[in-house]
């Protein structure tokens, strides 16, 4: 049963990917400007521009262009950036792990901090620490959604770098004088650990504190609220009262309540992962992190179409996969879920 559902969800990826490819292709094709003219400049002769159009297949009809686009993407060929003069796939290979590391660390911080906070503040304990946490998190829940991530990042830079000088400024993941670790995965923290480069690891962690905190603070509020709401309902339910009446240990009662409150939290985490990728666009720009977010912003400014197409495609695919993983985890955890319409 579980495998059937998983195969069903995996089978739905192909048509969704085709729709994403079509939308990505259409958006970029209808942007103003001639990509060939933009690459060669306004003073380039028309013969050269026409030759480049033919090389880029822009002289063909839109269906033929789309077929060529799908064929190249299926081979991992996203075109060439006329700004960096590199193949887009080569640029993405360098920049994608940086963004992935930033997003992954943001998700880990949200899970480690806000899920336990939601559980603690939902408990019926009236201790001083619990009461203080409830007041602090209620204020946080109101403030987090009203802070733009880029504004919060700028304020943190001003406070911790400009005023207090205790954390590095917006100079990327590593300082100018710090050599990067040996390339294994492309993620600076992980590569530093794998190679035992502790100096670089320290620098990377220090440079990532502010951007990771910014992402986690802004996008973690909804994780906290869902956890708190789910645990509050679970702890007040009849099955929890029944378990308490049987004399089960408190930790076991809390564990059963947490398991019942977890499915919507998992879905929301998958949802927030896609938002984190979008937030990384601004955060990377604010903190000068050389990931795909900053790469996309620079490509939009310079009308570099191939990287824009690749970024939109990767973002949409990443979002789709995060929802898929969340659905599969929920299905495995809760066997009551059934494929919609299966019994119709």
Question: Distance between CA atoms of 309 and 69, rounded to whole angstroms?
Answer: 10
Contact status, residue 292 vs residue 314, Cβ threshold 8 Å: yes
- The vertex-78 CA angle with 320 and 65, nearest 5°, equals 95
pLDDT (0 to 100) of residue 210: 93
pLDDT (0 to 100) of residue 49: 76
Distances (CA, A) of 334 to 3, 262, 263, 311: 14, 10, 8, 34
Whether the per-residue pLDDT at 23 is higher than 90: the answer is: no
Burial pattern 118-152, b for ≥16 Cβ within 10 A else e, equals bbbbbbeeeeeeeeebbeebeebeeebeeeebbeb
Same structural domain, 128 and 15: no
342 within domain boundaries: no
Three-state SS at 128: helix
**23-27, 102-106, 156-160: segment of lowest average pLDDT:** 23-27
**Computed from CA positions of residues 53, 54, 55, 58, in that sequence, does the dihedral angle turn out positive or negative?**
positive
340 within domain boundaries: no
Same structural domain, 46 and 108: no
Q: Supply the CATH number for residue 222's domain.
A: 1.10.3720.10
| Predicted confidence band of residue 161 (pLDDT cuts 50, 70, 90) | very high
Residue with more model confidence, 341 or 193: 193
pTM reported for the whole predicted model: 0.80
155 within domain boundaries: yes
81 within domain boundaries: no
241 within domain boundaries: yes
Question: Distance between CA atoms of 144 and 218, rounded to whole angstroms?
Answer: 5
Domain end (from 24, 43, 74) = 74
Torsion of CA 233, 237, 239, 245, to 10 degrees: 120
Same structural domain, 240 and 299: yes
| Predicted confidence band of residue 339 (pLDDT cuts 50, 70, 90) | very low
115 within domain boundaries: yes
pLDDT (0 to 100) of residue 341: 40
Same structural domain, 190 and 326: yes
58 within domain boundaries: yes
| Gyration radius from the chain CA atoms | 24
Same structural domain, 204 and 287: yes
Question: Distance between CA atoms of 311 and 323, rounded to whole angstroms?
Answer: 18
| Both tokens assigned to 176 | 């100018």
Same structural domain, 172 and 258: yes
- State pLDDT tens for residues 245-290: 888 888 888 888 888 888 888 888 887 887 888 788 889 889 988 8
> Which of 173, 176, 209 minimizes the C-alpha distance to 191?
173
Question: Distance between CA atoms of 32 and 18, rounded to whole angstroms?
Answer: 24
- State pLDDT tens for residues 93-138: 888 999 999 999 999 999 999 898 888 888 766 666 777 777 777 7
pLDDT (0 to 100) of residue 335: 47
Same structural domain, 69 and 96: no
Same structural domain, 66 and 107: no
Same structural domain, 108 and 224: yes
83 within domain boundaries: no
Contact status, residue 219 vs residue 106, Cβ threshold 8 Å: yes
Mean pLDDT of the 50-72 span: 78
Residue with more model confidence, 197 or 13: 197
Whether the per-residue pLDDT at 157 is higher than 90: the answer is: yes
Q: What percent of the chain has pLDDT over 70?
A: 88
Q: Using CB atoms within 10 A of its CB, is residue 276 exposed (0-12), middle (13-18) or buried (19+)?
A: buried
Same structural domain, 131 and 170: yes
Residue range(s) defining the domain that contains residue 58: 2-74
> What is the residue whose two structure tokens read 């906070």?
117
Q: How many structural domains does the chain have?
A: 2
Same structural domain, 187 and 301: yes
Mean pLDDT of the 46-75 span: 78
Mean pLDDT of the 187-198 span: 91
| Mean pLDDT over each residue of the chain, to the nearest integer | 81
- State pLDDT tens for residues 198-231: 999 999 999 999 999 998 888 888 888 888 888 8
Whether the per-residue pLDDT at 1 is higher than 50: the answer is: no
Same structural domain, 37 and 175: no
The gap between the terminal CA atoms of the chain, to the nearest Å, is 17
């Amino acid at each position: 049963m579980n495998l059937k559902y998983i195969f069903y969800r995996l089978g739905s990826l192909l048509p969704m990917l085709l729709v994403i490819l079509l939308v990505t292709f259409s958006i970029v094709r209808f942007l103003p400007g001639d990509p060939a003219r933009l690459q060669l400049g306004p003073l380039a002769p028309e013969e050269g521009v026409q030759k480049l159009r033919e090389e880029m297949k822009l002289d063909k009809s839109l269906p033929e262009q789309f077929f060529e686009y799908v064929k190249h993407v299926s081979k991992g060929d996203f075109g060439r950036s006329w700004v960096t003069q590199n193949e887009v796939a080569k640029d993405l290979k360098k920049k994608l792990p940086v963004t992935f590391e930033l997003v992954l660390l943001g998700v880990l911080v949200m899970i480690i901090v806000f899920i336990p906070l939601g559980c603690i503040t939902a408990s019926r304990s009236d201790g001083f620490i619990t009461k203080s946490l409830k007041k602090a998190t209620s204020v946080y829940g109101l403030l987090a959604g009203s802070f733009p991530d880029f504004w919060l990042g700028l304020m943190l830079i001003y406070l911790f770098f400009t005023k207090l000088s205790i954390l590095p400024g917006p100079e990327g993941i590593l300082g100018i004088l710090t050599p990067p670790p040996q390339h294994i995965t492309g993620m600076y923290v992980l590569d530093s650990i794998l190679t035992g480069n502790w100096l670089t690891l320290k620098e990377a962690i220090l440079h990532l504190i502010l951007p990771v905190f910014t992402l986690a603070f802004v996008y973690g509020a909804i994780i906290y609220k869902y956890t708190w709401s789910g645990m509050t309902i679970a702890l007040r339910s009849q099955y929890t009262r029944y378990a308490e009446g049987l004399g089960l240990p408190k930790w076991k009662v809390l564990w059963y309540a947490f398991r019942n409150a977890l499915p919507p939290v998992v879905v929301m985490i998958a949802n927030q992962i896609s938002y984190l990728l979008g937030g990384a666009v601004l955060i990377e720009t604010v903190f000068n992190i050389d990931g795909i977010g900053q790469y996309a912003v620079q490509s939009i400014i310079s009308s570099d179409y191939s990287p824009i197409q690749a970024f939109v495609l990767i973002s949409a695919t990443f979002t789709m996969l995060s929802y898929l993983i969340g659905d599969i985890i929920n299905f495995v955890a809760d066997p009551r879920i059934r494929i919609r319409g299966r019994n119709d």
